[in-house]
């Protein structure tokens, strides 16, 4: 189950569970759409994978024992360990490749 991390790992912007601005990689690294487009250029700085829109977990329980009430979002804020300079160099090196080729 997705953690639904509460923030952008790059700029620390709040990304609540219902945010349409949250993007994730296959490891659930989480970034805002602005950082993905302007800083990361669709490259996860942690794994090198591509980023896609994070799904929104329903707030209401349409089925028994599912939904945000039973499976709340994470409250643990995560930050990438890399500096902006390290991210820029990493992104420049692999962004020309499509995510499926990385």
What are the pLDDT digits (tens) for 3-57?
999 999 999 999 999 999 999 999 999 999 999 999 999 999 999 999 999 999 9
Domain ranges of the chain: 22-97
Total-model pTM: 0.92
Q: Are 93 and 86 in contact (CB under 8 A)?
A: no
Measured distance CA(76)–CA(67) in Å, rounded: 19
pLDDT confidence of residue 24: 98
What pLDDT is stored for residue 95 in this prediction?
96
Contact criterion met (CB below 8 Å) for 23 and 31: yes
Q: What 3-state class would DSSP assign to 89?
A: helix
Q: What is the mean pLDDT of residues 63-79?
A: 94
Q: Which residues 6+ apart lie within 8 Å of 37 measured at CB?
A: none
């Amino acid at each position: 189950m997705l953690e639904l991390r509460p923030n952008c790992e790059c700029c620390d912007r709040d990304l609540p569970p219902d945010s349409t601005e949250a993007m994730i990689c296959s490891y659930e690294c989480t970034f805002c759409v602005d950082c993905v487009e302007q800083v990361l250029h669709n490259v996860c700085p942690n794994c090198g994978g591509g980023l896609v829109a994070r799904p929104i977990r329903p707030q209401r329980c349409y089925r028994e024992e599912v939904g945000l009430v039973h499976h709340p979002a994470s409250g643990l804020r995560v930050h990438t360990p890399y500096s902006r300079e390290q991210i820029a160099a990493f992104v420049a090196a692999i962004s020309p490749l499509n995510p499926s080729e990385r």
